[in-house]
Amino acid sequence: MPNPTCADQSCPVTDTISTLEETIESGRLTHPKTRRIAEEVHELLEDVAWGRAGEEHLPAIDSLAGELAEDSPIQAGIEAGKMVRSSLDQYREVFTSHVQTHNCPTGACVKLAPAPCQMACPSGIDVPTYVSLIGEGKDAEAIEVIRKDNPFPWVCGLVCTRPCEFMCVRGRIDKPISIKFLKAFAAERAMSERRYENPPKEPDKGRKVCIIGAGPGGMSCAYYLALKGYGVRIIEALPTAGGMILAGIPRYRLPREVIDREVAMLEDLGVEFVFSTRFGEDLALEDLKQEGFDAFFFAIGAHKAFKLNIPGETEYGLVESIDFLKRVALGERRRPGKRVVVIGGGNVAIDAARTSLRLGSVEAILAYRRTRAEMPADEEEVEQAEEEGIRFDFLTVPVEIVGENGKTTGLRCLRAELVAREGSKRMSPVPIEGSEFVIETDAVIGAIGQRVDKETMLELTELAWTRRNTIDVNMVSMETSEPGIFAAGDAVTGPATVVEAIGGGKRAAEGIDRFLKGIPQPKMPPVPVRRERVACTEVPASTKMILKRPEMPLLNLDRRRTTFQQVELGYSENAVREEARRCLRCDICRRCGECVEVCRDKMDVDALQMGYFDFDHPVETDFRKTQERCIACGACANNCPNQAMQIRDENGERVLSLCGTVLNRQKIIHCTECGAVMGPNRYLDYIQKRIKPVGDVVATDKMVCDACLRKKSATATVDIPSAK
């Protein structure tokens, strides 16, 4: 099955074009002027669908459609005009988005559709474009593209949960492109070369916005608002910027300097930071309103830890993981205990255990009530923790913290088994009776999740909250129930990912901009914008298949167990450039399957083995197979709706390529008589097998084109065999 995004979604722009086309082709537009206007509207709509439209296109379509609807002397003309106008009225945002962003998220306007990786990115980064630029060594240009949608490419290059890689089409062939690490490399290189720059700001709008929380969501919003010309102040409770990326992610995964450098880019834009100031305690909303802020954005995160609710928790002092990580991030270096038990199975639990080890704990044990398969932590994090010597106790349910003289001495636990509850497929851990045991420990760290701290927001009495105790917002504009107050990040989603917070902050900036301009908010969430259509890098099919995703070099184990040095050392430059060349450029090839079908069903050649086209059931792909069977006829290229498949003659060869991957290269035969191009041998064989030779009389060893053959046969005055 070909890519469903090419086939089963409708776009108002293409739908309008099709309906108008049917009317024109039906011959019902008998009045000449009506027909001419309809054709003009059709042409303008085609411009919109192919990314050629400018600002004047939609008003022109509006006006011409109005002329048809009101002045056409024939009914068909009136109906056509009304149809176009109604479509424009109903879907104006979609038409405008096509014009302004060169983007069609349905994939119906093939040239304007974002790739799956870009669609998957919560901040909508144009992945294929920047990966291609990195492949060409244009790191600063790549960063420029990334920062149109995400102001923190370096941070995300090190800690993003990379939804893009899960949707990467290359993953259907072997392994996804290492998108995250390529981004980190480009950011580091651009920063090192002093070519990591801010784009120009719009002129000052004379209005200012206050942001509460200097985490990824708050700073993302600040960046885009500053670029739009707003004055921005960020209020932060901690003494430094970063929020959860600073307080919750240890330095061995995300060095402090990386955050500092990217935050400094915001300061360069004029964003003002006010640190060590807690909203709701040190500062009230009314104070800020009196200062003249026109809008507010809350990105306060979810920093409050859940309690375990077991005996001994208060008496012997359960350490809250997020508080522990924050203290270490801010400079504390005391180990939490000699033998530490961390309760939980997520990334925060892993981080707490690994941090304890680095602070000198002799042993760090992770107690999790389910099995390894259910652990929500990143697989790589789990592996790295295991390598460092973290012990995992699975199917372990803590029931009591035990101690003496106010100090923790152990964690009483029960062994559990996973049992399917009645009426549910969900396997739940059920304690086994009589399986009680005690893990000796002098520090228990709880890492079972965080929630939003509502107490700081009590002043906002009209603010609506969800039943999950997160701020209730319109997820399209990020507006809260209080006018002029917006929110995003973990405070809205609950504990989530860095890139989601960044995407939310960007959306909120757009929402705030519209609010301050008095423009209505959109009804649908924004779709990612294709930033460029950069040329494809030429790669031979064999190279495309042979190149493998590189392994990440890691810091040696002794240092990982004793210091906070960055564990992932980064790819070499050569590995980065090669990895970028594995990209399939899904921003251009939509995997519609037209090429495969025409080759197999019409030409009966079946040279394209593109198993990766199918999302649900990908089968084997091998670009090298094409060379074995392809006759270089060009039918695939002629039927490709997006010029992804191309055939061209160069240096005496006919070259077939798919988004730069050279699938076939064959020597071109020229007519020995006139020198005209005849095509490759295999193509000529294919043709000769299907048509009767012009005549035996003129048979020759020489390669002669049809025209010359005809001339020869005419000269020889022989009978030309009939066509049948």
Partner 1 sequence: MVFRRGQRVEVFQRSSDESWKSFMDEYIGRHGIVVDPDTSVNDPDALIEVSLEGKGTHRLPQDCLRVLED
User: Which positions touch partner 1 (CB under 8 A)?
Assistant: 4-5, 9, 105-107, 116, 119-122, 124, 161-163, 166-167, 306, 344, 346-348, 370, 373-374, 376-379, 425-426, 447-450, 466-468, 475-476, 493-497, 500, 523-525, 527-528, 615-616
Can you tell me the distance from the alpha carbon of 642 to that of 593, in angstroms, rounded to the nearest whole number? Answer: 12
Structure token digits, residue 519? 């423009």
In angstroms, give the least distance from the CB of 353 to partner 1: 15
CB 255 within 8 A of CB 245: no
In angstroms, give the least distance from the CB of 498 to partner 1: 11
Whichever of 343 and 402 has its CB closer to partner 1, that residue is 343
Structure token digits, residue 81? 């005009």
Whichever of 348 and 541 has its CB closer to partner 1, that residue is 348
Can you tell me the distance from the alpha carbon of 232 to that of 151, in angstroms, rounded to the nearest whole number? Answer: 15
Structure token digits, residue 140? 């600063």
Whichever of 240 and 347 has its CB closer to partner 1, that residue is 347
Length of the chain: 724
Can you tell me the distance from the alpha carbon of 51 to that of 48, in angstroms, rounded to the nearest whole number? Answer: 5
Task: Tally Cβ neighbours within 10 Å of residue 239.
Answer: 10
Whichever of 410 and 505 has its CB closer to partner 1, that residue is 505
In angstroms, give the least distance from the CB of 448 to partner 1: 6
In angstroms, give the least distance from the CB of 469 to partner 1: 12
Query: Nearest Cα to 498, choosing from 196, 177, 218, 127?
Result: 218
Whichever of 224 and 368 has its CB closer to partner 1, that residue is 368
CB 384 within 8 A of CB 554: yes
**Residue 50 burial by CB count (10 A; 0-12/13-18/19+): exposed, middle or buried?**
middle
Query: Nearest Cα to 585, choosing from 648, 532, 635?
Result: 532
CA 496 vs. chain centroid, Å, equals 16
Can you tell me the distance from the alpha carbon of 142 to that of 140, in angstroms, rounded to the nearest whole number? Answer: 5
In angstroms, give the least distance from the CB of 314 to partner 1: 20
Whichever of 541 and 584 has its CB closer to partner 1, that residue is 584
Left (φ > 0), alpha (ψ -120 to 50) or beta: where does 285 sit? alpha
Whichever of 48 and 350 has its CB closer to partner 1, that residue is 350
| Cα R_g (the chain), whole angstroms | 32
Whichever of 403 and 429 has its CB closer to partner 1, that residue is 429
In angstroms, give the least distance from the CB of 217 to partner 1: 14
CB 210 within 8 A of CB 293: yes
In angstroms, give the least distance from the CB of 593 to partner 1: 15
In angstroms, give the least distance from the CB of 248 to partner 1: 12
In angstroms, give the least distance from the CB of 82 to partner 1: 26
CB 665 within 8 A of CB 538: no
Whichever of 476 and 684 has its CB closer to partner 1, that residue is 476
